[in-house]
Structure 1
């Protein structure tokens, strides 16, 4: 709607500046002010989320091992220089593959606790009121993600291991099992 008002104000400003007449100067100035206010409103909405408020949703899930129910492990994959980590988690033992955390506007924490759980706190922008919805609906900022936080709570017996270290560990276990089989055959 704000785009329609902007277009109409620009047309009125141009029309009343081109055609001379009584009172046209006043209408021209009013349409110029409306044009500037519309542009300011669009810029503020786009950069500072004017007309929007934040809404936070929290969900908590139990965690199971990323690898094997008997090995309490949370896996992560390092990105770039290793400072960023993509955690791979399972919420039940029936899951075939672990889920990766979403990387868009994310932060993660791993802390100690009594039970293995995952809390996902998602903050989104939503319209403050119907006026904002009507004025800015063309920009599709409703339900836009502001921030997502993953909080992994792990008991002291759990380990956090990278996928590379897990592959090395699996390789060592296979070699050890093969050497034990060979020793038992002799």
Structure 2
């Protein structure tokens, strides 16, 4: 709606300046002022989310091992030079594949806890009232993601491994199982 107000104010300003009549100068100044305020409102909304507030939603979920129920691990995939990590988690043992965390405007952290769980804190921009939604609704910024934070609460007996480390561990466990089987056959 603010775009329509801007267009109408500019048209009014041009009209009141092209057709000079007595008493049109104050109307031209008022329409110019409305146009300038509309532009300032659009810029403030675009850069600083003017007319919006931050809404925070926190969800807590239980975690199960990312690999197998017998091996309590939380897996991650390193990005770039390894400082950034995409964690892969499961909330149920029936999940076939672990779910990766979202990467857009995201931060992940680890904490030690008694029970494995995960907290997802999501902050989104929403309109502060109906008037602001009426003015700026066309820009599509409602429910825009501001920030998402994952906090993984992992017990001390859990390991946090990269996918590469988990595959290496899996190979070592397979070798040990084969060796144990051979030793049992030799005993018989």
| Partner residue in 1 for 2:46 | 46
Q: Distance in 2 between matches of 1:90 and 1:97?
A: 8
TM-score by length of 1: 0.95
User: Pairwise mapping of residues 9-158 of structure 1 onto structure 2 (< 5 A)?
Assistant: 9-158=9-158
Secondary structure (helix, strand or coil) at the match of 1:88 reads strand
Q: Distance in 2 between matches of 1:154 and 1:70?
A: 16
Q: Distance in 2 between matches of 1:115 and 1:182?
A: 38
Listed one character per residue, the Cα deviations across residues 113-162 of structure 1 (whole Å, up to 9, x for unaligned) are 11000011111111111110100000111111111110100111011000
| Partner residue in 2 for 1:167 | 167
Structure 1: tracts of 5 or more residues without a match: none
Deviation at 1:175, TM superposition (A): 2.9
Q: Distance in 2 between matches of 1:58 and 1:67?
A: 26
Deviation at 1:22, TM superposition (A): 1.0
Q: Distance in 1 between matches of 2:180 and 2:72?
A: 25
Secondary structure (helix, strand or coil) at the match of 2:93 reads coil
Q: Distance in 2 between matches of 1:166 and 1:8?
A: 64
Q: Distance in 2 between matches of 1:166 and 1:159?
A: 10
Q: Distance in 2 between matches of 1:95 and 1:41?
A: 47
Deviation at 1:19, TM superposition (A): 1.3
Secondary structure (helix, strand or coil) at the match of 1:103 reads coil
Count of residue pairs the alignment pairs up: 186
Structure 2: tracts of 5 or more residues without a match: none
Secondary structure (helix, strand or coil) at the match of 1:45 reads helix
